[in-house]
Structure 1
Amino acid sequence: MFDKSFESLRLNLLELLKSKHEWLLSGKEYADLPESIRGAIEEQQNSSERFISWIQIAILVVFSVLYTMAPKTSPIGAEFEPVPIFLGTYFVFACLRLYLSYTSRLAHWILFLSILVDMGLLLGLIWSFHLQYMQPPSFYLKSPTLLYIFIFIALRALRFEPGYVLLSGIVGAAGWLLLMVLAILDESGRSVITNDYVIYLTSNSVLIGGELDKMISILVVTFILTLAISRARRLMVRSIVDGRTAESLSLFIPEGVASQIEKSDGPLINAQTETREASILFVDLTSFTSLAESLPPENLIAVLNEYFLLISGPIERNHGVINQFQGDAILASFNLPTEDPDHASSAISAALEIQRVLHEYQFEGGITLSTRTGINTGTVVGGFIGTPVRLSYTVYGDSVNIASRLQVLSKQYNTANLVSFRTMQLCDHERFAFKKKGSEILRGRTHPIVFYEASAK
């Protein structure tokens, strides 16, 4: 019974330590990130460590210059000057850490050791002042160099790991406590403790309350920075995840729609739709059935992906937006959701460029492909459709249906493209020529549609 209770206590303690370790160093959210993102964060952390090292080296240089310029009160000809020794030692250590940060990722134990050495050398430097200036130990407690402890703690906040900030603050406060104890235990036998604030400020006496105030200030600043870094790290991780999600989302929806999603406050299904005149381009692969019969499924998918990559270029270069991949067909819109005042000309230019690119290109195995396109211009609605838990963005309206029907009719009229009268009317006639191919009453309509074949001049 006792053994079970002890084992349960041990496991609970280990779990507590593990959770605190995760919070102090990285955070649980960090462990759930993909390896590629963790690698990017670690590289950023390493960059921060290099920045910290450079700042510390700069501080050392400034401190050395100030020390060199300051008048010396040590006896003339004194051989032992501890301040330059501490400054030189710390400079060597800072350069070594800087070198390691450039050549490899710094392990946690190196960073912990670095913090101990940072604070140890700084506190050792402060302690050495009474030797340098031939004063009793309590002399160093008045040193304004104490402020560098706060600087060293703040530098640790450049990494998004609260544990290093916390360790710096605890070591700094503990070090100052040790310095106070050493000053009180002065072997001269004199009582250095005082309760008089004026005497404390004007002599080498020690006011314990005053020194405790310094330690409390160090700890309070440390805990505030620790909490701030912890919250900032959670926000950083969430921002990275959101950014990665947005990147992935951009593969499925147009960039303009992604911008709408970022600005949307409520459910996307309730997001406002856009209605405007736009040009719709339908692109369909000819002889797809025979291609599917002649190729193994994995080869067919590879050819289709290569084909889609090839023809998406002309659409995007002409300011079009691919809304849907429908089997071997593509539905693209011009002027919705991305504005394009010359959308009719852009749609025709994209269709003709697709024909030209495919005519000059051979797929693996010597396969050549061709397309037929239908283009129509009219009022179109763009928005999200589906359910609150599964949505897709599309453009819809009668004008979209007409573009689809024109693409189907292009085979009957033995042409690579058909464009509607409205598209022909709006486009730049200095760039394109049109040949009337006919007119038909399309299925579901009562009035005939006049259509043309477009070509470049």
Structure 2
Amino acid sequence: MTNNIAEFLFGKTSKNSLPERVSNAIARQQSDSEQLIGWVQLLLVTIFGTLYVVAPKTNLHDGIQPLPWALALYFLFTFIRLALSYRVRLPAAVLTLSVIADITLLMILIWSSHIQNDQPASFYLKAPTIMYVFIFIALRALRFDPRYILLAGAGAATGWLVLVLYAVQSKGGQSMITRDYVTYLTSNSILIGAEIDKIISIVMVSGVLAIAVLRAQRSFKRAVSEEIAAQDLSRFVSREVADRITLSEHQIRPGDGEAVNATVMFTDIEGFSTVSESLNPAELAHMLNDYFGATSAVIEKFGGVITQFQGDAMLITFNAVKPDADHGQNAVKTALEIQRLCETTTFCHGGKLKTRCGINTGDINVGAIGSENRLTFTVHGDTVNIAARLEPLNKQFGTYILVSETTMACCQTTPDAPRWTPRGDVTVRGRSQPTPIFSTDYRSLDVAFQPVPSGITTS
């Protein structure tokens, strides 16, 4: 019950703590806010001083005039604090003393007005300078920390209470108390209820501002946590998939998806088991990171999206989660570029990593599969199954790029289309109908092969 009330008033707290780098960035922003507060306060005290200089003087005696001294002291204090805020990050203790000093000096300015104008103490209770109390409290909202708002409000309420008590206890103060509102407005009389209203207003304004800032602070931290989570998520899945998950208007459920016409490519490193035997786990991971970094750049260049990593294999889609009108052509260009990259690049630890690609174009389903508590965002359908079976068929043909007839047809209309070698009709596992397949390579030359009869069935 208590937690529900607290969340209703102050907003939900973030479940995840902010990373240190984000906390440091917020702290820097808070320091900038303190500088802004300093400049505004310097402007205010300058306005106070200017008004004092240009206003007609009503003081009738030649004694000490406290108002200019209070203004000078406050200007000096504000200037020193502003200069320090540019040199160091002001600690909490200094900020606390600063808020107390702000309110104290402001109260001294208000109090000194009755001496400056040679009036009874009750005179300052009607001074419009009290409006600056609310400005000083509101200024603390710039720091985005409710503690200092509450501190300023508590200091102002206490300070005004002290001023009221001083006025009441001063010479003739008791006799100046009235219950008549008109008398209060037209004389130096004291209306206790009016002063209590001012104190309540100070407390209420401070409380409302503190709650608003705390709610904003918690919302900000939740938003930052979610943004960081989305950024981290995009390192494990593609940015497009992460955006689809995080920006979805409704929570994604198992089975949610859409049918699209797209191109699917499966890749696998040739002889990866042999490569693995010659390297220790750390060296192998380093080589794979090098390889995936290079191939990912190629995939992104042609608009592909890595939907899934599995060991040394990749599932890449075109026009599935990111629009691509030429998805068939771009998939083939990606495969050709990856083949060229692998044949001309030596990865770390002296590795040559040749890549086999299987590509197919057709209707697929893009969406989430799994249970309520654990989902995988992927693609599935007959088109995906054929692409998955074409990739290992490269072993039988001594090729590195095998595509279906539908993918090959997507490239026939372009003037720079690669040269294709028919590889006959194959029946992939799970299908009864044979699929015509074709091969190519990055040099667009026929790959030497032995004629293969139709009807080969994949294992």
Q: Same fold (TM over 0.5)?
A: yes
Q: Does 1:45 align with 2:45?
A: no
Residue 302 of structure 2 aligns to which amino acid in structure 1? N
> Do the aligned partners of 2:153 and 2:206 also contact (CA within 8 Å) in 1?
yes
My pick for the range that moved more, 286-295 or 396-405, is 396-405
Q: Distance in 2 between matches of 1:350 and 1:95?
A: 62
1:443 equivalent in structure 2: 428
- Residue 28 (structure 1) shift: 7.9
For residues 314 and 115 of structure 1, the distance between their equivalents in structure 2, rounded to whole angstroms, comes to 57
Q: Is the 8 A contact 1:275 1:382 kept in 2?
A: yes
- SS of corresponding position for 1:227: helix
Q: Which residue number corresponds to residue 452 of structure 1?
A: 439
Find the aligned partners of 2:371 and 2:228 in 1 and give their Cα distance: 24
| Same amino acid, percent of matched pairs | 44
Per-residue deviation at 1:391?
1.2
Contact 1:424 1:434 in 2 (8 A): no
Q: 8 Å contact 1:438–1:451 — kept in the other structure?
A: yes
Matching residue of 1:12: none
Q: Secondary structure of the residue that 1:245 maps to in structure 2?
A: helix
Distance 1:62 1:432 in 2: 75
| Distance change (3 Å), C-alpha of 1:436 and 1:29 | closer
Amino acid of the structure 2 residue aligned with 1:108? A
Q: CA RMSD in A?
A: 2.5
Shift in Å, 1:229: 2.4
- State how 1:406-425 maps to structure 2 within 5 Å: 406-425=390-409
* Residues 1:145 and 1:332: Cα distance change in structure 2 (over 3 Å): same
The 1-side partners of 2:365 and 2:15 are apart by 42
What is the TM-score when the length of structure 2 is the normalising length?
Answer: 0.86
Q: Tell whether 2:23 aligns with 1:64.
A: no
Report the alpha carbon displacement of residue 267 of structure 1 after superposing the two structures with TM: 4.7
Q: Matched residues in 1 for 2:416 and 2:38: separation? A: 61
Q: CA deviation at 1:43?
A: 2.4
Instruction: Describe how 1:317-336 pairs up with structure 2 within 5 A.
Output: 317-336=301-320
Gaps of 5+ in 2: 1-11, 445-459
Alpha-carbon deviations, 1:384-419, whole Å to 9, x = none?
111111111111111112222222222333333222
Q: What is the distance in 1 between the residues matched to 2:196 and 2:234?
A: 56
Sort the Cα spacing of 1:190 and 1:393 in 2 relative to 1 into closer, same or farther, 3 A.
closer
Structure-1-length-normalised TM-score: 0.87
> Would the aligned equivalents of 2:287 and 2:349 in 1 still touch at CA under 8 Å?
no
Matches within 5 A, 1:346-357: 346-357=330-341
Q: For the Cα contact (< 8 Å) 1:434–1:455, is it kept in 2?
A: no
How many pairs are equivalent? 430
Q: How does 1:98-177 map to 2 (within 5 A)?
A: 98-177=82-161
Give the drift of 1:178. Answer: 0.8
Change (3 A) 1:369 1:210: same
Provide structure 1 residue ranges, at least 5 long, that are not aligned to the other structure.
1-26
Within 5 Å, give how 1:211-360 maps onto structure 2: 211-264=195-248, 267-270=251-254, 272-360=256-344
Counterpart secondary structure, 1:250:
helix
Of 440-449 and 162-171, deviating more is 440-449
Query: Where does residue 54 of structure 1 map in the other structure?
Result: 39
Whole-angstrom distance in 1 between the partners of 2:323 and 2:312: 27
TM-aligned CA distance change 1:313 to 1:352, over 3 Å: same
Q: Does 1:433 align with 2:418?
A: yes
CA contact (8 A) 1:437 1:453 kept: no
Q: Could you tell me how far 1:120 is from its partner in structure 2? A: 0.6
State which of 394, 405, 408 in structure 1 corresponds to 2:378.
394
Report the alpha carbon displacement of residue 141 of structure 1 after superposing the two structures with TM: 1.2
Closer, same or farther in 2 for the Cα pair 1:187/1:204, shift >3 Å? same
Q: Distance in 2 between matches of 1:358 and 1:277?
A: 29
Within 2, Cα distance between the matches of 1:412 and 1:68? Answer: 97
The answer as to whether partners of 2:254 and 2:375 remain within 8 angstroms in 1 is no
Tell me, in whole angstroms, the C-alpha distance in 2 between the residues paired with 1:80 and 1:359. 91
Counterpart code for 1:211: E
> 2-side partners of 1:360 and 1:91: how far apart?
70
Alignment check: 8 A CA contact 2:328 2:361 kept: yes
Structure-to-structure mapping, 1:25-44, within 5 angstroms? 32-44=17-29
The correspondence for 2:81, drawn from 94, 97, 101, is 97
Structure 1 stretch 264-273 or stretch 228-237: which is displaced more?
A: 264-273
